[in-house]
Structure 1
């Protein structure tokens, strides 16, 4: 009865999802790569304008120092979160692990049903969905985000939430600085408010304000959407499909802890990993 369950062996990382000699998870999607590079370029642009136009010409040392420190702190945390979200395995199920040996090792009870993904020939865990971009089944897949060129799933949701949080803070700070500097320049009739010419200063500030406003709204919406999904122990796909919960829902506090760990300052750090799931069957996790 197991002969049609898929190829034998397997479980190795697909070449589609490997880089740096197979040591790092990555997705070879051109659209995602372009979006990820654009993210870094837009943050770099904002950094350039803030340093050279906004605070670079200010005559108040305390104002300059505080804003530079705050803006750069948000930028470092945002880009670090982006990097971790992009290069962390989101919870991929090994391709071709639906073998007779693996199914027998699961110790299924009489009448118990398992699901096999017809696209990647893997045993499909509860709440997993197949991503056509990553070409893998992803445990607790929320959605595929081109801005981080990766799926948001069980292992990297914390980093994605932090990415949206810090980009929103960075954008709000940039919006405030851009508008404030624009007002200062108008009052001074564009004299000595920037090292650039007045037309260039107008263009630089207006694009900073537009970029900051756009991404402040976009990432704030994404942040609260993610927090709501975690709070209700439902992924974005499950909410979209209005799937009936066949799993035992966690309490709201336990659902948050499952993503971020026990409450501490590490919740806000992209440099600490989220709690790893309990690996009941190791061959379901090795990529």
Structure 2
């Protein structure tokens, strides 16, 4: 799925490892008395609202949680695609349940031998199994989808909520939080998992070894 692929890249919201160097500290141009925090685990300067993930072994900006389904953390740069991932999985589950319902009623009205290549008991078992699977995924993804929208509207990550951290930042209004995560004013791009993808043209490059093409 495009949403899952856009959520999986490891660089999404990650703080560079080992950036706590003297040169980097000087480039920050800190004001007198300004406090910064260094992560003792990955030796990186932790921005505000960043948390260290013990699985990814690095700090993630606005880390919400580590999701095993996408094998990555949900953070600042990929939360939109994780929300779309849960939404589309829920819609697919609803579609599967509707198809199961149509198949079941069709089998009741018609001869079982005409509605399925399996015997009636096997057909019923398969329909029940698919319904249970659809309900399971629908329930799980719907809860995750609602939880993510609640976090976005409250401008609070799941980790911040569980740790009961007092906000040291100015919380955004609900509408502003939605526009920040999904990008700009409401449009079709909000639910488009392909938004932001740039397709480069084949550009010929002539090198010493001959002509090559870069994608």
Give TM-score scaled by structure 1 length. 0.65
Q: Give SS of 1:129's match.
A: strand
Distance 2:77 2:145 in 1: 17
Runs of 4+ that moved beyond 3 A: 186-189
Q: What CA deviation, in whole Å up to 9, does each residue of 1:103-154 have, x standing for no partner?
A: 1111111111100000000000000000011111000000000011110000
Is 1:152 the counterpart of 2:68? The answer is no
Q: What CA deviation, in whole Å up to 9, does each residue of 1:161-209 have, x standing for no partner?
A: 0000010011011112112312322343523111233333223212211
Distance 1:164 1:128 in 2: 23
Unmatched segments (≥5 aa) in structure 1: 1-78, 275-287
Aligned position for 2:191:
268
8 Å CA contact 2:113–2:119 kept in 1: the answer is no
Q: Give SS of 1:178's match.
A: helix
Unmatched segments (≥5 aa) in structure 2: 198-215
Distance 2:8 2:111 in 1: 45
Give TM-score scaled by structure 2 length. 0.86
Change (3 A) 1:89 1:158: same
Aligned position for 1:93:
15
Distance 2:9 2:27 in 1: 31
Aligned position for 1:216:
138
Distance 2:193 2:57 in 1: 26
Distance 1:265 1:239 in 2: 30
Which of residues 230, 244, 259 is equivalent to 2:166? Answer: 244
Greater RCO structure (CA 8 Å; 6+ sep): 1
Q: Give SS of 2:45's match.
A: strand
Distance 2:47 2:2 in 1: 30
Give the number of equivalent residue pairs. Answer: 196
Is 1:192 the counterpart of 2:114? The answer is yes
Is 1:163 the counterpart of 2:97? The answer is no
8 Å CA contact 1:88–1:155 kept in 2: the answer is no
Distance 2:10 2:21 in 1: 26
Is 1:129 the counterpart of 2:56? The answer is no
More helix as a share of residues: 1
Aligned position for 1:206:
128
Q: Give SS of 2:112's match.
A: coil
More strand as a share of residues: 2
